[in-house]
Amino acid sequence: MSTRPQLAADPREVIGKEVRRLRRDGLLPAVVYGHGHDSESIQIDARTFDDLRRHAGRNALVDLKVGGGRAVPVLLHHVQEHPVNRRPLHADFLVVKMTEEMTVDVPIAMVGESEAVDKQGGTLLHLRDTVQVRALPADLPSSLELDVTPLETFDQVLHVSDLRVPENVTLLTEQTEPLARVQPPRLEVEPTTVEEAEEPVEGEVEPAAETEAGAEGPTEGAGSDSEG
């Protein structure tokens, strides 16, 4: 018996702009497709979907049952969100074959504490948000951890090779790709005082001296070519 979360859905006939009415009624429009399953428009209780998403996380496998049909294993493939309130607007479910490996993007989860951040005031930079992996559907991780503790100076960089990857997961992203580093804090430059700005630097010629030299008349013999 499957231990995967269960999700019930109903066939959906409403399409296009009319789906706004579904959302007002507490329903989430979605579509399910893949592995011999024709693309099918469905609708799900929005509150039930929120609970599932909160507890199952990304790349979670779910047993989806549409109407009176048989439950099939699906992967929550994509969720379209409102740009402001981040509420789900639409969901894509991909029917999977449990014996066939899949390639998906997995988010990177930063863990640990960096000395360059905590003690030197630097800013942790995330150079990449996801990496690509391949695994059987049941082995797909919701995220991969990156321990930032080794970042003790501003010169150090963590790469894909530093990720914690389970044995049954194949990492496809190049191992040398940078993932994180610490940016040093900005140094505030003290404003220069008027006195410091006017004080000549050693070795410089005083502007007044230059003016006096330029004001002297022509050297002896100059201009003799004009006589005639």
| Greater model confidence, 227 or 109 | 109
Q: Are 215 and 153 in contact (CB under 8 A)?
A: no
Closest CA to 46 of 26, 25, 21, 20: 26
């008349």: which residue's tokens? 217
* Residue positions counted in the chain: 228
| pLDDT given at position 197 | 53
pLDDT band at 55 (very low <50, low <70, confident <90, very high): confident
Q: Can you identify the CATH homologous superfamily of domain 6-96?
A: Ribosomal Protein L25; Chain P (2.40.240.10)
Q: What pLDDT is stored for residue 68 in this prediction?
A: 87
- Residue at token pair 């140094």: 187
pLDDT of 218 reads 47
Q: For the chain, which residues make up each domain, given as ranges?
A: 6-96, 103-183
- As to burial, measured by CB atoms within 10 angstroms (0-12 exposed, 13-18 middle, 19+ buried), residue 188 is exposed
CATH class of 103-183: mainly beta
Torsion angles phi and psi, residue 214, rounded to 5: -75, -20
- How high is the pLDDT of residue 2? 73
**pLDDT for the residue numbered 113:** 95
Tell me the pLDDT tens digit for each residue of 81-133. 999 999 999 999 999 999 999 999 999 999 999 999 999 999 999 999 999 99
| From 34-48, 72-86, 209-223, the region with the lowest mean pLDDT | 209-223
Least confident of 20-34, 54-68, 101-115: 54-68
- Give residue 183's pLDDT: 95
Write down the pLDDT at residue 57: 75
Do 6-96 and 103-183 agree at the fold level?
no
pLDDT tier for residue 72 given thresholds of 50, 70 and 90: very high
Structure token digits, residue 71: 């439950």
pLDDT greater at residue 185 or residue 55: 185
Closest CA to 95 of 119, 72, 71: 72
Predicted confidence (pLDDT) per residue in 142-179, tens digit: 899 999 999 999 999 999 999 999 999 999 999 999 99
Question: In this predicted structure, what is the pLDDT of residue 56?
Answer: 80
Q: What are the tens digits of pLDDT across the range 172-217? A: 999 999 999 999 998 766 666 555 555 555 555 555 444 444 444 4
Cα 8 from Cα 50, distance rounded (Å):
13
